[in-house]
Amino acid sequence: MKSSPVFHRIRPLMLFTVFLALLAALPLAAQSGADNAAISTDHQVLIGPGDLLSISAYDAPELAQQLRVEADGSSRLLLIGQAKLAGLTAGQAGKWIEDELVRRNYLVNPHVTVLISEFTSQTVSITGEVNHPGVYPIMATRSVLDVVSQAGGFTSLADTQVTVKHRLGSEEKVTVKLKSDEAEAALAGNTAVYPGDLIVVPRAAIVYVLGDVGRPGGFYMQDNGHITLLQAIAQAGGANYTAAVNGAYLLHKDVNGYVSTRVKVGELLKGHLNDFDLARNDILYVPSSRIKRLGEQTSGIVQAAAGAMVYHAIP
């Protein structure tokens, strides 16, 4: 049967539409891959007490089962009996079951799949310098940025170092930098978070500027966790006119205590010396200039004397 001319016109149009749709989907797929790659997965999820496991074996439906990991970390498996699976990843548990089935002569070449269908804790806790610390529900792997966003983001005093303690890593901690002027740097260190994990956002470190400055006190090392000497002086309101800017001292604490270093702040302000970063708990002391103080006092005495002379000259 001969096809109609209308069909011949529609078919090329349909093919062209499908081609455009495929082209549009390519960037989305690439973006999805990039988002997944942005989450660091160095830490793998470990089976823990109370987790619900789904176990299946290829071409052996009679071995399929769902079981809850007991408080001591063990589970009762079909054909195998009691076995401790806590502390293993799902892949390691599947491999162990395969080896046991072969060793016991139940199967020749089994292919076992273990899935963690339900975690004991379906939440993640976040505390410290976030706007809304608390416990938030998560059903699967999330990124640190996701959880911090759920908690309302960082406060202005948050440190750049965020510590993630995983639920089965007794002392395992992952420290990542998230507050950065460069989005790529923050995404590169976007660690994965799992149900039961704890996120701690500490307060930023402090440096101190004391002496003859506008606002002496302690100042947080915000933003990127760095602060230079000139930035610290600027936050302290700058050096006063009577300050001995080239006679400042920087006290830096090491294992043996504080070490004092002479700093020519005046030369830094003029650009003759390079600015440098301060470390946490550094103390910058800017003394007063005796000569300038004496000049102020002398000027005050002269002004007072002149005023007295004018007062007495008035009839």
Looking at residue 257, what is its pLDDT? 82
* Contact indicator for 56, 113 with CB cutoff of 8 Å: yes
Average pLDDT in the 131-144 region? 87
| Mean of the per-residue pLDDT values of the chain | 78
Q: Has residue 68 been placed in a domain? A: yes
CATH number at residue 135: 3.10.560.10
315 occurs within a structural domain: no
Whether residue 91 sits in one domain with residue 74 = yes
Q: Which of 20-29, 108-117, 186-195 is predicted with the least confidence, judged by mean pLDDT?
A: 20-29
Assigned domain for 298 exists: no
The total number of structural domains that make up the chain: 3
Share of the chain above pLDDT 90, in %: 35
**3-class DSSP state of 43:** coil
Instruction: Look at residue 195 in the predicted model and tell me its pLDDT.
Output: 82
Q: What is the mean pLDDT of residues 174-202?
A: 77
Partners of residue 82 on adjacent β-strands:
76
Beta-sheet strands, E only, within 58-203: 65-68, 74-77, 81-84, 112-118, 123-128, 134-137, 142-143, 161-165, 173-177, 190-193, 198-201
Domain that holds residue 159: 123-201
- The per-residue pLDDT for range 266-294, each reduced to its tens digit, is 888 888 889 998 988 899 999 998 755 55
- In this structure, the answer to whether residues 226 and 167 fall within a common structural domain is no
Cβ proximity of 308 and 270 under 8 Å = no
- Burial grade of 105 (CB within 10 A; 0-12, 13-18, 19 or more): exposed
Q: Are residues 212 and 286 in the same domain?
A: yes
Asked if residue 134 and residue 106 are part of one domain, the reply reads no
Beta bridge partners of 57: 112
Is 30 contained in some domain?
A: no
Contact 264, 189 (CB under 8 A): no
pLDDT at 22 over 60: no
- Name the pTM for this structure: 0.57
Q: What is the mean pLDDT of residues 173-188?
A: 70
Last residue of a domain, one of 93, 118, 143: 118
Q: Domain for residue 303, yes or no?
A: no
CB 201 within 8 Å of CB 148 = yes
Residues 213 and 148 in one domain: no
- At 17 the pLDDT is 47
Residue 314 covered by a domain = no
Percent of residues, the chain, with pLDDT higher than 70: 71
- The C-alpha atoms of residue 192 and residue 169 are separated, in whole angstroms, by 14
Do residues 257 and 237 share a domain? yes
Task: Report pLDDT for 250.
Answer: 93
Instruction: Tell me, yes or no, whether 3 lies in a domain.
Output: no
Residue 26 lies in a domain: no
- Does residue 313 or residue 112 have the better pLDDT? 112
CA distance 206 to 257: 17
Which residues face 220 on adjacent strands?
A: 206
